């Protein structure tokens, strides 16, 4: 994008969101809006960044959250917005027979409904400031799911499908829509020590900084999608070409190299 960067980043207080803020802050004349629940962390992060920053401490599932973000962008940046990073998300693990619809509902509310509602509120600004972009942070669990993560995968499947449709709809308006698919990401909430200690599993673990670079590639570079680590795209290919084998593998519990995001890791991405 050739226009000055004004970006809204959700889930910015830690993990992938924090790394994305630090990466985007290095862009020339960047102006960032950091959105998350924990004001103290947002303020501390903003004070360390080399870019002009503001922050909003709110819960994205609140009814008035999209309107508050919109009002903030209008007031502080004159309605200028060139990048929206929908990163905030969480997972509550457990089989459907135990968590039921209640678990599906709360997961969908944050991981799908919240980015859809926020995008709806900010889309007019993104159109006015085109070329602009939306990056939705999904998960490789949107391609291959496993026992105990059905609600999380459902929310990410939905986010991914909606992203593809939105890209087709907004392309003519100059708004690019792309998706990032993180796998296991080592964070404070998910240090991944056991995976990193074994040579045959260490390769499947990546870092928030690498996801942040993927977000920049997809958003500013206008790419369709990126997997992090890159070899995780093989999981999606296997699911399409060998669905029976993938199902049997997942059922046996040997799913580490095919899918992603434990509850602890996902919690590290919460707003």
Return the H-helix or E-strand segment holding 36: strand 31-36
Cis, bond preceding 229 (omega within 30 deg of 0): yes
User: Residue 1 contacts by C-beta under 8 Å, 6 or more apart in sequence?
Assistant: 82, 83, 131, 132, 133, 220, 222
Closest of 82, 81, 84, 79 to residue 178, by C-alpha: 84
Instruction: Please give the DSSP secondary-structure letter assigned to residue 28.
Output: T
Which residue do the tokens 């056991």 mark? Answer: 194
Which residue do the tokens 């404070």 mark? Answer: 188
> Is 152 in the active site?
yes
User: Residue 209 contacts by C-beta under 8 Å, 6 or more apart in sequence?
Assistant: 19, 23
Our CA angle for 21, 163, 236, nearest 5°, is: 95
Catalytic annotation, pick one of 77, 101, 152, 227: 152
Q: Which residues are part of the catalytic machinery?
A: 152
């Amino acid at each position: 994008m050739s226009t000055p960067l004004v970006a809204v980043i959700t889930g910015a207080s830690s993990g992938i969101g924090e790394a994305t803020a630090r990466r985007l802050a290095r862009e020339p004349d960047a102006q960032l809006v950091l959105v998350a629940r924990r004001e103290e962390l947002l303020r501390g992060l903003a004070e360390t960044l080399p870019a002009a920053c503001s922050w909003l401490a709110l819960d994205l599932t609140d009814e008035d959250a999209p309107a508050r973000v919109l009002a903030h962008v209008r007031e502080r940046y004159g309605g200028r917005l060139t990048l929206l990073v929908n990163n905030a998300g969480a997972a509550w693990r457990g089989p459907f027979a135990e968590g039921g619809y209640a678990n599906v509902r709360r997961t969908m509310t944050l991981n799908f409904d919240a980015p859809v509602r926020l995008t709806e509120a900010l889309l007019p600004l993104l159109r006015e400031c085109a070329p602009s972009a939306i990056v939705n942070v999904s998960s490789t669990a949107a391609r291959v799911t496993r026992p105990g993560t059905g609600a999380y995968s459902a929310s990410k499947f939905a986010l991914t499908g909606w992203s593809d449709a939105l890209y087709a709809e907004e392309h003519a308006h100059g708004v690019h829509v792309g998706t990032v698919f993180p796998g296991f990401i080592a964070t404070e909430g998910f240090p991944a020590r056991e995976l990193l200690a074994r040579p045959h599993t260490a390769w499947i673990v990546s870092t928030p900084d690498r996801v942040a670079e993927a977000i920049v590639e997809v958003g500013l570079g206008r790419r369709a999608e990126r997997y992090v680590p890159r070899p995780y795209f093989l999981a999606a290919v296997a699911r399409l070409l060998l669905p029976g084998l993938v199902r049997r593998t997942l059922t046996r519990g040997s799913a580490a190299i095919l899918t992603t995001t434990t509850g602890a890791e996902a919690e590290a991405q919460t707003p």
